[in-house]
């Protein structure tokens, strides 16, 4: 069934991230502007103007994984933000208002760049941050739709991208030049393609890579997309994983069943969950969360139109039908025996309609699914016992035993 040993490339990840943090600080010190950017923001425009991006969503996930989320979220609640708001927002707010961060100091923004293609909350969250730091607020409005985006949507987004490109260049003391955008978009496209191939290696039986690995390895595709070092990292990872797939090295020893995951990871319980799956012999072979970055289709021949299309077309900018289609594709492509829908208290847009998704998906694929209730980052809304209570019978149902 294949042996198991850690993925070698993983050892390079902490240094890659540390260097990124160090570089951001140096860049800030030598006068390069820093932009706080949403995970679905058109970062390529910033990079082309020499602006350093920083991702508050990633930062909140790091705070959660490092165990300091609760105190930061409580700070937001003390300041009268509801406990029902996104935990990433509350954690980030707690961090930038108190200065507490595991990254050695808050990297203050010179501008913020927001797209509502992932949710409506980010628009308010980044407005709060922009007000706090008294910096410009750049916004990309992407119309939410059940159907694929229209040419009108693309044209509307493109107009805004032109504005964002000019404004961000002006803040950086430059003039926007579309030609300078091309290499960034090319590398971003290549990185996305490589990331997609990395994820595809999990279709091998046994899977050499699981979503628990992807949750960790996704950091560069989110925060360093378009850079040479991110591309080099994924190429190395891909080569190693292809080798492991060929040699039959399993990510989960004695893989007995395979499952697909929907929604953001549960960071406060990441390790315990990984172990729960491993002990049961269940490989989490694909997920819609890290998969979202593989779905970004970029086009260097007409970079602005390509970016407009790509950022309108992200998974969370579409409704339940599209999410169900995406999951159906993953269940089939990765030969999954079942699926897990994380009902994420924080992320309403991602969790809306999951009971309908569960029924439709089961009917379409013929495999069962389970819904687990938790939160991506707030440990007060995560109970590992409660999650196991649902996963154990589900694992038994799909042919694994814990």
Partner 1 sequence: MSRAVGLDIGSSATKAVLVEDGRPVRAVVLASMPDMHDAAVRAVAEVGGDGAPVLTTGYGRLLYEPRCGDVSEITALAAGIEAVLPGTATVIDIGGQDSKAVRVRAGRVADFAMNDRCAAGTGRFLEAMSRVLNVPLPEFDSVLASSPAAVPLSSTCTVFAETEVVGLLSRKTPVGSVLAGLFASVAGRVAGLARQVGPAAPIAATGGTMRCRSMVAALSAALGAPLVVPPDPQVVTALGAAILCERRSRA
Give me the residues that bind partner 1 (CB under 8 A), please.
Answer: 355, 362, 368, 370, 373, 383, 386, 389-390, 392-394, 396-397, 401
Q: In the complex with partner 1, which residue's Cβ is closer, 253 or 368? A: 368
d(CA 207, CA 219): 21
Q: In the complex with partner 1, which residue's Cβ is closer, 325 or 383? A: 383
Minimum CB separation of residue 368 from partner 1 in Å reads: 6
Token pair, residue 151, equals 């040419």
Minimum CB separation of residue 320 from partner 1 in Å reads: 17
d(CA 61, CA 105): 16
Minimum CB separation of residue 359 from partner 1 in Å reads: 8
Strand order in the sheet with 34-37: 52-54, 34-37, 111-115, 137-140
Kindly report the backbone phi and psi dihedral angles of residue 62, in degrees, each rounded to the nearest multiple of 5, phi listed first.
-65, -45
Q: In the complex with partner 1, which residue's Cβ is closer, 98 or 386? A: 386
- On the 0-12 / 13-18 / 19+ scale of CB atoms within 10 A, 163 is middle
Q: In the complex with partner 1, which residue's Cβ is closer, 3 or 386? A: 386
- Which SS3 state, helix, strand or coil, does residue 257 take? strand
Q: In the complex with partner 1, which residue's Cβ is closer, 54 or 394? A: 394
Minimum CB separation of residue 271 from partner 1 in Å reads: 19
C-alpha distance from residue 396 to each of 34, 113, 338, 369 (Å): 49, 46, 11, 12
Minimum CB separation of residue 344 from partner 1 in Å reads: 13
Q: In the complex with partner 1, which residue's Cβ is closer, 180 or 390? A: 390
Minimum CB separation of residue 354 from partner 1 in Å reads: 11
Whether the link from the prior residue into 206 is cis, omega within 30° of 0, is yes
């Amino acid at each position: 069934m294949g042996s198991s040993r850690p993925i070698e490339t993983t050892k390079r990840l902490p240094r890659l991230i540390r260097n990124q943090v160090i570089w951001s600080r140096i860049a800030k010190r030598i006068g390069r502007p820093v932009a706080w950017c949403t995970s679905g923001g058109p970062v390529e425009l910033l990079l082309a103007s020499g602006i350093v991006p920083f991702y508050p969503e990633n930062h909140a996930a790091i705070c959660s994984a490092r165990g300091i989320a609760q105190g930061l979220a409580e700070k937001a609640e003390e300041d009268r933000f509801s406990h029902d708001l996104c935990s990433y927002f509350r954690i980030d707010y707690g961090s930038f208002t108190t200065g507490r961060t595991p990254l050695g100091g808050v990297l203050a923004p010179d501008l913020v760049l927001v797209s509502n293609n992932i949710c409506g909350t980010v628009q308010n969250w980044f407005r709060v941050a922009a007000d706090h730091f008294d910096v410009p607020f750049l916004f990309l409005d992407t119309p939410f739709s059940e159907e694929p985006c229209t040419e009108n949507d693309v044209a509307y987004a493109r107009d805004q991208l032109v504005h964002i490109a000019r404004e961000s260049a002006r803040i950086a003391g430059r003039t926007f030049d579309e030609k300078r955008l091309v290499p960034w978009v090319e590398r971003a496209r290549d990185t996305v393609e490589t990331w997609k191939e990395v994820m595809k290696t999990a279709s091998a039986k046994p899977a050499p890579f699981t979503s628990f690995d992807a949750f960790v390895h996704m950091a560069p595709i989110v925060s360093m997309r378009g850079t040479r070092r991110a591309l080099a990292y994924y190429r190395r990872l891909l080569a190693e994983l292809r080798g492991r797939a060929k040699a039959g090295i399993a990510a989960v020893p004695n893989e007995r069943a395979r499952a697909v995951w929907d929604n953001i990871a549960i960071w406060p319980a990441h390790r315990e969950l990984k172990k729960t799956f491993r002990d049961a012999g269940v490989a989490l072979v694909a997920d819609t969360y890290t998969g979202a970055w593989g779905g970004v289709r970029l086009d260097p021949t007409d970079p602005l139109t390509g970016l407009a299309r790509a950022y309108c077309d992200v998974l969370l900018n579409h409704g339940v039908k599209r999410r169900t289609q995406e999951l159906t594709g993953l269940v089939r492509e990765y030969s999954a025996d079942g699926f897990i829908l994380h009902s994420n208290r924080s992320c309403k847009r991602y969790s809306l309609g999951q009971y309908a998704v569960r029924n439709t998906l089961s009917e379409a694929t013929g495999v069962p699914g389970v819904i687990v209730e938790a939160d991506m980052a707030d440990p007060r809304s995560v109970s590992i016992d409660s999650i196991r209570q649902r996963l154990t019978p589900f694992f038994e149902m799909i042919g694994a035993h814990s």
